[in-house]
A and B are shown apart, each in its own frame.
Chain A
Amino acid sequence: MKKILIVALALVLALAIFAGCQKETETTVSDATEAPADNTETASDATEAPEAPMSLSGEVTVSGSTSVEKIGIALGDEFMAMYPDVKYTYQGIGSSAGVKNANEGVTMLGTASRNIKDSEKEWGMTEEVLAYDGIAVVVNPANTAVSNLTMEEIQKIYLGEITNWSQVGGEDTAIVVVSREDGSGTRGAFEELVEFEDSLTADALISEGNGGVHATVAENESAIGYISFTYIDSAVKTVTVEGVEPTVENVLATTYPISRPFMIVYHEANLSDAAKAFLEFTKTDLAKEIIEEKGGIAID
Chain B
Amino acid sequence: MLAYFCNFKDLNMRKTKKYEPLVELIFRISSVMTIVAVGFIVLFIISKGVQPFLSSNKEGTYSFVKFISGLEWRPNDDINKAQYGILYMIVGSLFATGGAIILGVPISIFAAGYLSELANEKVKKIAKAGIMLLAGIPSVIYGVFGLGFIVPKIKEISPMPQGQSLLAVIIVLTMMILPTMIVIAENAIASVPSAYRNASYALGASKVYTTIHVIIPAARRGILVGVILGVGRAIGEAMAVVLIAGNVSGGIPTSLFEPIRPLTANVVLEMSYATGLHSEMLFATGSILMLFIIGINLVLSRIIKRMGKY
| Contact A4-B148, Cβ < 8 Å, known A94-B273, A220-B155 | no
Interface size class of A (residues with CB under 8 A): 35 or more
The reply on B8 being an interface residue by CB < 8 A is no
Do residues B248 and A182 form an inter-chain contact, with CB atoms below 8 A?
no
The reply on B224 being an interface residue by CB < 8 A is no
Do residues A200 and B76 form an inter-chain contact, with CB atoms below 8 A?
no
Contact of B77 among A3, A100, A119, A208 (CB under 8 A): A119
Query: In whole angstroms, what is the CA distance A198 to B72 when docked?
Result: 12
Q: Which residues on the A side are within 8 Å of B72 (C-beta)? A: 202
Q: What is the chain A residue whose CB lies nearest that of B258?
A: A203
Q: Which residues on the A side are within 8 Å of B249 (C-beta)? A: 182, 200, 202, 204, 206
Query: In whole angstroms, what is the CA distance A247 to B76 when docked?
Result: 32
Q: Which residues on the A side are within 8 Å of B161 (C-beta)? A: 173-176, 220, 222
Do residues B246 and A183 form an inter-chain contact, with CB atoms below 8 A?
no
Do residues A206 and B152 form an inter-chain contact, with CB atoms below 8 A?
no
The reply on A73 being an interface residue by CB < 8 A is no
Do residues B162 and A198 form an inter-chain contact, with CB atoms below 8 A?
no
Query: In whole angstroms, what is the CA distance A209 to B74 when docked?
Result: 18
CB within 8 Å of A: which B267-295 residues: 268-270, 272-275, 278
Chain B: interface residue total (CB-CB under 8 A): 43
Do residues B248 and A205 form an inter-chain contact, with CB atoms below 8 A?
yes
The reply on A270 being an interface residue by CB < 8 A is no
Q: Which residues on the A side are within 8 Å of B77 (C-beta)? A: 117, 119
The reply on B113 being an interface residue by CB < 8 A is no
Do residues B2 and A2 form an inter-chain contact, with CB atoms below 8 A?
yes
The reply on A7 being an interface residue by CB < 8 A is yes
| Contact A203-B275, Cβ < 8 Å, known A183-B270, A220-B161 | no
> Smallest CB–CB gap between A86 and chain B, Å?
27
Q: Which residues on the B side are within 8 Å of A3 (C-beta)? A: 2, 4-5
Do residues A215 and B147 form an inter-chain contact, with CB atoms below 8 A?
yes
The reply on B220 being an interface residue by CB < 8 A is no
Q: Which residues on the A side are within 8 Å of B247 (C-beta)? A: 181, 205-207
Q: Which residues on the A side are within 8 Å of B147 (C-beta)? A: 215-216, 219
Do residues A96 and B275 form an inter-chain contact, with CB atoms below 8 A?
yes
Interface hub of A4, A206, A207 (most chain B Cβ within 10 A)? A206
The reply on B60 being an interface residue by CB < 8 A is no
Do residues A204 and B162 form an inter-chain contact, with CB atoms below 8 A?
no
Do residues B275 and A205 form an inter-chain contact, with CB atoms below 8 A?
no
Do residues A94 and B19 form an inter-chain contact, with CB atoms below 8 A?
no
Query: In whole angstroms, what is the CA distance A222 to B163 when docked?
Result: 11
The reply on B299 being an interface residue by CB < 8 A is no
The reply on A1 being an interface residue by CB < 8 A is yes
Do residues B269 and A181 form an inter-chain contact, with CB atoms below 8 A?
yes
Do residues A4 and B23 form an inter-chain contact, with CB atoms below 8 A?
yes
Do residues A182 and B275 form an inter-chain contact, with CB atoms below 8 A?
no
Q: What is the chain B residue whose CB lies nearest that of A185?
A: B273
Contact with A along B74-107 (1 / 0, CB 8 A): 1111000100000000000000000000000000
Return 8 A-B CB contacts under 8 Å, by A number: A3-B2, A93-B272, A181-B269, A182-B273, A182-B274, A205-B248, A219-B147, A219-B148
Other than the known A4-B22, A96-B274, A206-B248, what 8 A-B pairs have Cβ atoms closer than 8 Å?
A: A4-B23, A176-B162, A181-B273, A182-B274, A202-B249, A205-B164, A208-B242, A219-B151
